[in-house]
């Protein structure tokens, strides 16, 4: 993303951008650097709870009565961890 050349009409953020698709057949979408965001999340999770920049996950109980303990963050873990 750092080497990407900005074009008129695009919106940019930290390792993401929304391309200008007004005069094209493309649909509006966000392009982002997934590896950069995974690195960011890993850094936040590795920081001790209570320290500046730390990230913690909510909850101690399952979301649904039929869900097993710890299942509420499985999708997040599958996206954040390498395959």
- pLDDT tens digits for 24-38? 888 889 999 988 888
Q: What is the DSSP string of 26-60?
A: PPP--EE-HHHHHHHHHHHHHSPTTSTT------S
Best CA proximity match to 52, nearest among 63, 61, 43: 43
Helix (H) or strand (E) holding 18: strand 16-18
Residue-level pLDDT at 29: 92
Q: What is the pLDDT along the chain (83 residues), one digit of tens a residue?
A: 667 788 888 899 888 999 988 888 888 899 999 888 888 988 998 999 899 999 888 766 655 655 565 667 778 877 777 65
pTM above 0.85, yes or no: no
pLDDT at 18: 93
φ, ψ at 15 (rounded to 5°) = 60, 35
Residues whose CB is less than 8 angstroms from the CB of residue 31 and which lie 6 or more positions away in sequence, other chains included: 16, 17, 18, 19
């Amino acid at each position: 993303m750092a080497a990407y050349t900005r074009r008129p009409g695009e919106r940019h953020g930290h390792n993401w951008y929304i391309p200008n698709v007004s005069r094209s057949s493309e649909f509006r979408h966000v392009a982002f650097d997934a590896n950069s965001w995974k690195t960011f999340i890993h850094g936040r999770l590795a920081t001790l709870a209570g320290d500046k920049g730390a990230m913690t996950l909510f909850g101690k109980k399952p979301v649904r009565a039929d869900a097993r303990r710890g299942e509420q963050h499985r999708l997040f873990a599958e996206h954040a961890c390498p395959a």
